[in-house]
Amino acid sequence: MNVSLDLRIEQVPGDDGAGEWLRIDEELHREFNARARALAVMVQGRVMYETMEEYWPQAREDASLPDVLREYGEIWTTTPKVLVSRTRDGAGHGTRVIGGDDAIEQLAALRDRTDGTIGVGGATLATQLLRAGLLDELLLFTHPSILGFGRPLFDDYDRPVDLDLLEQRSFARGVTMHHYAVRDTKEMSAC
């Protein structure tokens, strides 16, 4: 997830992870592409999925875009996906829909039968999976901005979460990547 220094993911409701505070350049997007390419499955909440669905399938064929963006469009469109939603019952691009009161249990079963890394996108979903003990890693790209208000990465959380730093890297324009292991959880990661 892209976050501000104060762990916000959007400054204005509805900007869906966009905003002038983000400092995404080609080098950083190539890192996103490499991480996404390595995923066995992408699990996304409805808001995240609909944001991605609106742009990336068309981006892969848009010759006016830089190759790094077209490449991500291809990765997103072709990677197996799971949409977690109570309101949608269908989706394209190789996407399975999971919804209902047992969605977390269905995701736990998905983890048990999946070889490889499952990437999780969406703040509400990440919070629910963290509470359920199903996130084993956090991958945060921190942009050098303090928003002061807006959507936080995690909803109110009722207990401390201990993390171990696995990897750290700096990118141009002051962006840093922090890859953490969540102590005592099952295997699923938010990125």
Write the pLDDT tens digit of every residue in 130-187: 989 899 999 999 999 999 888 888 887 777 889 999 999 999 999 999 999 998 744 4
Q: In whole angstroms, give the CA distance from residue 93 to residue 154.
A: 28
- In the chain, where the domains are located: 2-190
Per-residue confidence at 189, pLDDT binned at 50, 70, 90?
low
For the chain, list the strands marked E by DSSP: 2-4, 8-10, 39-45, 81-84, 95-98, 117-121, 137-143, 151-152, 163-170, 176-182, 189-190
Pick the CATH number of 2-190 from 3.40.430.10, 3.40.190.10, 3.30.70.920, 3.40.50.1820: 3.40.430.10
Whether the Cβ atoms of residue 43 and residue 3 lie closer than 8 Å to each other? no
Q: In whole angstroms, give the CA distance from residue 44 to residue 41.
A: 10
pLDDT, average across residues 71-89: 96
* pTM for the full predicted model: 0.88
Instruction: Indicate the DSSP class of residue 173.
Output: G
Residue with tokens 């998905």: 110
Whether the Cβ atoms of residue 88 and residue 97 lie closer than 8 Å to each other? yes
| Exposure string over 147-183, b if 16+ CB within 10 A, otherwise e | beebbbbbeeeeeeeeeeeeeeeebeeebebbbbbbe
